[in-house]
A and B are shown apart, each in its own frame.
Chain A
Amino acid sequence: MMDPQSPPVPPAVSYRDVSYRYPGEPSLALEGVTLDVRQGERLGILGPNGGGKSTLLKITLGLIPKGGAAGWSGAVTVFGLDPAEACRNGIVGYVPQRTEAELAFPLSVSDVVTMPAAWRLSPFRAPPPDVRERVRGALSLVGMESDGDRPIGGLSGGQLQRVMIARAIAAGARLLALDEPTVGIDARGQHLFAELLADIHRRLGLTILIVSHDLRVIAAGCDRVACLARRLHSHTSPRGLTPAVLAELFSHNLEGVLGDAVHVDAHAASECAAHGHPPISAPHVPGPACEHGR
C-alpha cells in the first residue's frame, strides 16, 4: 500500500495550510501545516511539549471549531469529511491518555468497550447481537477476551490502554488516533504495546495516528514520522530521524526523547554516520514519560 506506483488513494486525513492561535496568545500554536496521512499507514507525530501536537489532534477530532477568531484556518478532511462530521459518524477512534477517564466508575471492561458502540441506540433497546459481537471481537483482538467482566478500575495501565483501543475498534473506527500512548507505561509495557499495535495494524489495516513526544514509541510503531514544532519540520521515516532533525525539533534538548529505540536501531546509526553525524549513543535514560504503571 506504500508503493508509489499504485494508483492514488485519497488520503485518510489531509491537512492543508492549517494554522491556529489559542485565544489570547500572541504566537501561533500551529503554522501552515500541510500533511497527508495515507490510508492504512502508521504515522507518528513527534514533537516537544507545547509544539502543537495535541492541538493538531484536537483539530483532527473536531474538538476545535473552524474559522472565526477562536478557530483554525486552512482545510482538514478526515476520509473526505469535515472532522466534526467524521467524529459524529464514529470514523475516528480516539484513544486518550489513560489518566483522563474516571476509573472509579462501577463499569466492567465490556461495559466500557460497548459504550461508544452503543450510545446512539434507542434507550429501550439492549445492545443487539452485532454490537455484542463487535465488542467481543475487539476485546479478543487486544487479548482481553477473558477480562470482559473485570471492573475497569482494577486494570493495570497497559491493560487499560488495550481496553481503550478495543473501545475505538468496537465503535467502528477506520482511524485510530492515539494521544501519548506510552505515558505511565513501563518499558516492558511499551514493548508489548508496540507489538499489539503492529498486530492490529496487520489484521485490520487501520490507519493509525500516534502523537507523542517520546521517540521510542514513534520509532517502534510507525511507518512515517512528521516532526511538529509549531511548523512541520520534517517528514520522514523513523530511520531518517537524524540528530540534526531532532536537535532542531527539540532545541538541542535531547535528554528524555532519545531512548533505547534509537540505540537498537542500527540503520539509524549508520544513516546518522552517512549524514556526517556521529551515531547516537543514547544512554538508557528513561524519558520523562517512562513512569512505572500501577
Chain B
Amino acid sequence: MRTIEYLSDPLLRGHLLPPLVAALALAICGSLLSVLVVLKRMSFIGQGVSHSAFGGVGLAALLSGLISGGLSPVAQYAVVLVFCAGAALAVATLGDRKSLGMDTAIGVLLVSSMALGAVLLSIASRMARSGGTSPPIQGWESILFGSILGVGWADAAVACGVSATVCLAIGWWRRPLLLWAFDEAAAPAFGVPVARMKLTLVLLLAATIVTGMKVAGVVLATALLVLPGAAAIAISRRLLPVFVCSVAVGVVGLLGGMILSFERGWPTGACIVLVLTVIVALAWVVGRARSVRARPGQGPAVNPLESA
C-alpha cells in the first residue's frame, strides 16, 4: 500500500500527514455538528453555505491578484470564512421572514454565490496570465471536489484550530443548544437566548464548511455535516452514544476516504462521500434490523424522522 509506504518514509510523510491530520480534526467537529444538523433538518443550510464558499474562493483569488505578493493561506481562509459567515447569516435572517422561505433564500444564495465565484475566478486567472504569474488558486476540480495535494501543514493547523473551537463551543453551550434544537417553540419561554443559539450554530457550520472545503471540496464539504449524524441516529436513540457513533463514523469515513483517494488517485471529496455513504447504508440496515428484533410481530419501528 502506498499509504503505509508514504507514512513510514520520513521524506514522503510530509505529503500525507497534513491532510490526514486535517481530516481527523474535521471529522471530529463535523460529526458533532452533523448530529444537530440532521436532527434540526438543516442539511440544506449546510449545502447553501458550502456552495456559497465558491464565491468566497473567487473573492480570495481576486484579492490575491490585486495585492502584491498575494494573500497568505490563512488570509485566504479568513476571506472565505467571512464570505461564508455572511452567507450563513443572510440565510438565517432571510429564511425567518414569512415572505421568503428558507429554501428559497438558500436557493437564491447558492446559485448567486456560485456564479459570482465563477466570474471572479475567471477575472483573477486572466489578471494572473497577463501579469505572467501562476493563477492564485489551483484548478476548478480541486475547488469543487477537494484535493489531498493542496493540504499543507498550514491547512492542518487551521483545521485543528477550527475543530477545537467548534468542539469547545458545542461542549460549552450544549444544554441551551440542545433545548433550543429540540423544542424551538418552547425554548424562549424557558429563557433560552434562541437567536444567539441559532447564530452560534450557523457560524460554527460556516467555519467547519470553509475548513472542510479544502479537503472535500465546495460541492461535497456539506457531506461531513450530514452523513455521520444520519448514520449515528439510525444506530442509536441515546444522546451520548449518538454523538460518539457520529464521531466514529466521521473519523472512519474521512480517513478511509482519504486513503482510498490517495491509493487510487480519485478525487478526495468523492472518495470520502462514497465511504460515508456505504457506512450510512449499513447503519440504516443495522438500525432497521434492530428495531424489528426489538418489537417482534409489530413490524419495523417507524423512524420518527420519516413520520414527523
Contacts and interface: CB of A to CB of B under 8 A. Distances in A.
A161 B107 CA distance: 37
Contact of A105 (B39, B186, B192, B303): B39
Given A96-B185, A102-B39, A105-B181, A116 B190 contact: yes
B189 A87 contact: yes
Contacts of A103: 304, 308
A101 B183 contact: yes
Residue of A116, A151, A164 contacting most chain B CB atoms (<10 Å): A116
Contacts of B173: 123
Interface stretch (A106-114, A197-205, A263-271): A106-114
A107 B186 CA distance: 16
Contact of A118 (B39, B175, B185, B238): B175
Interface in A201-252: none
Contacts of A115: 175, 178-179, 182
Given A121-B175, A123-B173, A61 B189 contact: yes
A88 to B, nearest CB: 4
A63 interface: yes
A interface residue count range (under 10 / 10 to 19 / 20 to 34 / 35 or more): 35 or more
A211 to B, nearest CB: 13
A119 B190 contact: yes
B191 interface: yes
A153 B304 contact: yes
A97 B236 CA distance: 27
Contact of B181 (A102, A120, A177): A102
Interface string B217-246: 000000000000000010011110110000
A275 to B, nearest CB: 39
Interface string B174-206: 111011011111101111100000000000000
Contacts of B242: 106
A293 B203 CA distance: 38
A109 to B, nearest CB: 12
Contact of A119 (B39, B40, B179): B179
A100 B184 CA distance: 8
Contacts of B185: 96-97, 100-101
Given A115-B182, A123-B175, A153-B304, A104 B188 contact: no
B175 A104 contact: no
A106 B230 CA distance: 12
Contacts of B189: 61-63, 87, 92, 94, 96, 177
A142 interface: no
Given A87-B188, A115-B182, A104 B233 contact: yes
A89 interface: yes
Residue of B184, B186, B237 contacting most chain A CB atoms (<10 Å): B186
Contacts of B181: 102, 105
Nearest to A152: B182
Given A115-B179, A119-B175, A104 B304 contact: yes
Nearest to A108: B238
B182 A102 contact: yes
Contacts of A76: none
Interface residues of B, number: 32
B190 A123 contact: no
Given A87-B190, A101-B182, A104-B233, A119 B239 contact: no
A67 to B, nearest CB: 18
Contacts of A97: 185
B35 to A, nearest CB: 8
A62 B187 CA distance: 12
Contacts of A104: 39, 233, 303-305, 308
Nearest to A104: B304
A90 interface: yes
A123 B39 contact: no
B239 A87 contact: no
Interface in B3-58: 39-40
B179 A116 contact: yes
A217 B192 CA distance: 30
B275 to A, nearest CB: 24
A171 B239 CA distance: 21
Contacts of B241: 106
Nearest to B238: A106
Interface string A107-139: 110011001101111010000000000000000
Given A104-B39, A116-B179, A123-B174, A111 B188 contact: no
Nearest to B41: A102
A171 B237 contact: no
Contact of A96 (B183, B239, B305): B183
Given A94-B186, A111-B239, A119-B190, A106 B233 contact: yes
Contact of B190 (A94, A102, A108, A153): A94
6 A-B pairs with least C-beta separation: A94-B189, A104-B304, A153-B304, A119-B175, A88-B191, A100-B185
25 contacts: A62-B188, A62-B189, A63-B189, A87-B190, A90-B190, A100-B183, A100-B184, A100-B186, A102-B39, A102-B182, A102-B183, A104-B39, A104-B233, A106-B236, A106-B238, A106-B239, A107-B182, A107-B239, A115-B182, A116-B179, A119-B190, A120-B175, A123-B172, A151-B238, A153-B304
Given A105-B181, A106-B238, A119-B179, 7 more contacts: A61-B189, A96-B185, A104-B304, A106-B233, A107-B178, A116-B186, A123-B172
Interface of A: 61-63, 87-90, 92, 94-97, 100-108, 111-112, 115-116, 118-121, 123, 151, 153, 164, 171, 177
